[in-house]
Amino acid sequence: MADELHGRRGGGRAARQAARAHAHGASVPFLTRTMAPFEVLGEEGLSLIERNADLILQEVGCEFRGDPEALRLLREAGADVDGERVRFPLGLARSLVQATAPASFVQHARNPARSVTIGGPHTVLAPNYGSPFVRDLEGGRRYATLEDFQNFVKLAYASPHLHHSGGTVCEPTDVPVNKRHLDMVYAHLRYSDKPFMGSVTAAERAADTVEMARIVFGAEFVDGNAVVTSLINASSPLVWDASMLGALRTYAAANQATIVTPFILAGAMAPVTVAGVCAQTLAEAMAGIALTQLVRPGVPAILGSFASSMSMQSGAPTFGTPEPALVLYVMAALARRLGVPFRSGGSLTASKVEDAQAAYESAATLQPTILAGTHFVLHAAGWLEGGLTIGYEKFVMDADQCGMMGVFVNGVDLSENGQAMDAIRENPPGQHYLGSAHTLANFETAFYRSEIADNNSYEQWLEEGELDARARASRVWRRMLAEYEAPPIDPGVDEALLEFVARRKASMPDALV
């Protein structure tokens, strides 16, 4: 614990103001945690799971399907390749990762003030990903459209508590599957200036993403810097499929970051036990990250973990339960020991609506996410119904919680002002502090202020129409969209992007996959 991180004893008035702004949820490009991560296992337990992961890769191995180039790279690196089954001599995958994968990297945003550092004591919060449905209080649940996609990009841009524009925030189902990625990447680049994620559904869509990034950032800059971070999911157990491998290799070759993520519904894609899920997740992730380093040594890669428990009754994924929280803490520790950034968590729930279930479950995921020291947080805002739906109200409710996390991780202000000893000395027993000079000087920034919570008296709340949290949230996102102003963009760049999108769309017929 570095106490000097907490003390803000000098630096004058401007430094104090900046510290205060930071302490109280003002917009920062990413969070910087001042406390060590929470640990649920010690050295012995963690090394046991590491050993098991190495054994899994040695004895069972992974299948790398439909990608001869991946097999060639792995064979040349010393793996035992039998058809598409790849077994790693004990410790090989780990050593391939540790040899060159960076512990931390910067993902550049088109607005340099919004570039994010992924790794170390930092946390980057990104919105929901992948929902085919959208929900709002008035319209209910319906298929998501490109307009919804653009709306969520705008909301993530407008939120001071989200640091990243995300990727497939929702599926724009009104656009053909093989052309969606062009509209999505364009929306991220046009309606936000926060960093974003690229397409992964096919190698050529990943290539389109890189091309569009080159238009904005310049080809040389892209070759030397991460400007896209994209989500590569395993087909667990122990399979990497052709489309994900194609996208992974495309991004890695272009020096762009990937989040290599085993997606585990425990009991289906892995054993039902926490230690089993963790060993298999680590094995799969190390195999995938090793491949990124073989494609281009030193390319940034994030170890991702997505694990949910399961309903005994229906086999449906369940969220906010203690077992995935344990997995999250263990995986964060394993990623730290491996030496790569970690992605997990978010505001996950199985609830269909923005009720108490949704909030309990989301909090039971987001708190461990933050306390584990997660570096990149997908699904930090908006998730409903096991990810099938993104909610407008849920989005701003979750973003509010993200704001609180941002204040929390700044820790305790131990400056003279924070200690408040003069105020205590001047205040006789039994005399309240409401009028004290210290209170008046600090009141405005002393506490996180939620836009969603109602703290008024019961009587006032009754008078104001007995609104619940979702009704208040509905007003918040509508106001945010109404007040949205697009960040500036060079008209030439915008034109080049639009031209690229139009050209690529015209080059192929609409397709359903």
Restricted to residues 131-150, the positions that interact with its own copies (CB under 8 A) are 141
When asked if residue 321 is in the footprint of its own copies (CB under 8 A), the reply is yes
Position among 270, 286, 302, 307 found at the interface with its own copies (CB under 8 A): 270
Binding window for its own copies (CB under 8 A); candidates: 69-77, 92-100, 292-300, 463-471: 463-471
Binding window for its own copies (CB under 8 A); candidates: 34-42, 153-161, 212-220, 478-486: 34-42
Choice between 195 and 391, CB closer to its own copies? 391
Element (H, E) at 125: strand 122-125
Choice between 449 and 503, CB closer to its own copies? 449
Classified as helix, coil or strand, 204 is: helix
When asked if residue 48 is in the footprint of its own copies (CB under 8 A), the reply is yes
Give me the least distance between CB of 9 and its own copies, in Å please: 11
Strands 301-304, 342-343: pairing is parallel
Position among 107, 344, 436, 474 found at the interface with its own copies (CB under 8 A): 436
Phi, psi of 490 (to 5 degrees): -60, 125
Q: Indicate the residue type of 78.
A: G
Position among 470, 480, 500, 501 found at the interface with its own copies (CB under 8 A): 470
When asked if residue 408 is in the footprint of its own copies (CB under 8 A), the reply is yes
Choice between 255 and 365, CB closer to its own copies? 365
Write out the two tokens for 483.
């007040």
Choice between 168 and 351, CB closer to its own copies? 351
Give me the least distance between CB of 151 and its own copies, in Å please: 21
Position among 80, 451, 454, 494 found at the interface with its own copies (CB under 8 A): 454
Segment 203 to 262, residues that bind its own copies, using CB under 8 A: 235, 237-239
What are the residue ranges of helices labelled H in 137-202?
146-158, 180-191
Chain centroid to CA 350: 18
When asked if residue 401 is in the footprint of its own copies (CB under 8 A), the reply is yes
Exposure on the CB side of residue 2, measured as CA atoms within 13 A: 8
When asked if residue 332 is in the footprint of its own copies (CB under 8 A), the reply is no
Classified as helix, coil or strand, 113 is: helix
Percent helix, percent strand, percent coil in the chain, to nearest 5: 50, 15, 40
204 CB contacts (<8 Å, ≥6 apart)?
Answer: none
Q: What is the spatial distance between Cα 130 and Cα 307, in angstroms, rounded to a whole number? A: 16
When asked if residue 40 is in the footprint of its own copies (CB under 8 A), the reply is yes
Give me the least distance between CB of 77 and its own copies, in Å please: 19
Give me the least distance between CB of 104 and its own copies, in Å please: 23
Position among 90, 103, 420, 496 found at the interface with its own copies (CB under 8 A): 420
Sign of the Cα pseudo-torsion (8, 10, 16, 21, in order): negative
When asked if residue 26 is in the footprint of its own copies (CB under 8 A), the reply is no
When asked if residue 90 is in the footprint of its own copies (CB under 8 A), the reply is no
Q: What is the spatial distance between Cα 331 and Cα 436, in angstroms, rounded to a whole number? A: 47
Binding window for its own copies (CB under 8 A); candidates: 9-17, 107-115, 213-221, 363-371: 363-371
Write out the two tokens for 157.
């841009």
Q: What is the spatial distance between Cα 260 and Cα 382, in angstroms, rounded to a whole number? A: 22
Give me the least distance between CB of 480 and its own copies, in Å please: 18
Q: What is the spatial distance between Cα 70 and Cα 288, in angstroms, rounded to a whole number? A: 10
Position among 432, 465, 509, 513 found at the interface with its own copies (CB under 8 A): 432
